[in-house]
A and B are shown apart, each in its own frame.
Chain A
Amino acid sequence: MSDWIMVGLGVAALGLSFAKDRGKTRTAVRVGLKQFVAMLPFFIAVFGVIGLLEVLLAPHQVQSLLGPQQGVLAPIYAALFGGLATGPPAAVFPLGRYLLGQHASIAAVATLLIAWVAVGTVSLPAEVRFFGARFAISRWALTMIVSVALGLLMGWIL
């Protein structure tokens, strides 16, 4: 669904660019696709990691860790799990709803929704390649901390 919004956005941007300047647009497409091809092996490897995590982490193991009885630990576990099991953003909403139904705490689920999308542990090697280790590790750690803090805040408010 959101794929089509994305495609629409891309097509609209390309069309607008093409109407303004054909030559520039051709250069843009060439530059973009060249970078895509260069990064493709790495992307595929990242998807391979996601596949492995999916089969090696059992769902019921995760659930027992995230209940309200775990207190502050629950969102910390959620951040670790969400940060590791990064996947398509759309996938985490049903998962979070399901966990909430299994009596996971609000703090844990809110943290999971944030960490799943924003932490990006599996893409950390790629991030190091793009921005260097200092940037990547600082951002990773800070996002972890912020996701737990926001989760706790939400659990406290709601």
Chain B
Amino acid sequence: MKQLIKWSRANWLVWVIVIAYLLLAVTRTHVASTAALVALTTFRDLIVTLVVVFLIVGLFQVWVSEDFIVRHLGQDSGLKGLALGAGIGTVIHGPLVGVFPLLKTLLGKGARLGVVIAIVSTWAIKLPMIPLEIRLFGWKFTLLREGLLFASAFIMAPVMELALGKDWALPKAVDAVEPLATAPAATVQCTEPPEAAGDCA
């Protein structure tokens, strides 16, 4: 029972969704089944990608040394680090949720915040889909969009670093070993006053 409460606190969205679907199923059964079908289709389309992403996350944790991260993506990595991050964002494929574990691992290993922001800034560039985009929108539209997005990484990274401040740190309790139990409490602490963020380190 106690474990169920703990689990529910971390996975509250699961209950919200279950209740929403139940309500919809009672009032408009047909609509609810369509929604469920869309959800299942999306899940089927992405499950392979998700598994691969997590395998790569595992490989990252085993192979990428903190030394490498600090040297190439760390605090002093400058523009080169941002460019590398922006490049990484265009190559990795999948939904934004899928990359969070990887980004957290990078941050945990000492990567610069701006580099992580650069990775998500170029998330809307999908290297394998450029042929599709050119076919649908033409090369001018595609090149312009990709170029502007890549450039935006170099604006978003410093802005985010400025917005979060030097002493920003990851919420500590969200950890690979015990991801379910203490996460919400820790995040609440970190959000209160900006000056207190250092306490979360």
Contacts and interface: CB of A to CB of B under 8 A. Distances in A.
Are A and B interaction partners? yes
Interface of A: 1-3, 5-7, 9-10, 13-14, 17, 24-25, 27-36, 38-39, 41-52, 54-56, 86-90, 93-94, 96-97, 100, 106, 110, 113-114, 116-118, 120, 123, 125-135, 138-139, 142-143, 146-147, 150, 153-154, 157-158
B148 A150 contact: yes
Contacts, number: 259
Contact of B59 (A17, A51, A153): A17
Most chain B beta-carbon neighbours within 10 Å: one of A38, A55, A90, A142:
A55
A158 B58 contact: no
A128 B148 CA distance: 28
Given A25-B62, A42-B11, A146-B121, A114 B51 contact: no
- Among B55, B136, B163, chain A packs the most CB atoms within 10 A around the CB of B55
Closest 4 CB pairs of A and B: A32-B58, A51-B39, A10-B52, A120-B96
Interface string B102-141: 0110010000000001001101101011001100110011
Interface in B37-85: 37-40, 42-43, 45-46, 48-52, 54-59, 61-63
Contact of A5 (B24, B93, B123, B141): B93
Interface residues of B, number: 88
B13 A125 contact: yes
Interface of B: 10-14, 16-17, 20-21, 24, 31, 34-40, 42-43, 45-46, 48-52, 54-59, 61-63, 93-97, 100-101, 103-104, 107, 117, 120-121, 123-124, 126, 128-129, 132-133, 136-137, 140-141, 144-145, 148-149, 152, 155-156, 159-160, 163-164, 168, 170-171, 174, 176, 179-180, 183-184, 186-188, 190-191, 194, 197, 200
A27 to B, nearest CB: 6
Given A32-B61, A114-B149, A143-B120, 18 more contacts: A5-B93, A6-B93, A10-B55, A28-B63, A29-B58, A32-B54, A35-B58, A43-B43, A45-B13, A47-B42, A48-B21, A55-B35, A88-B45, A117-B123, A127-B97, A129-B179, A139-B117, A146-B156
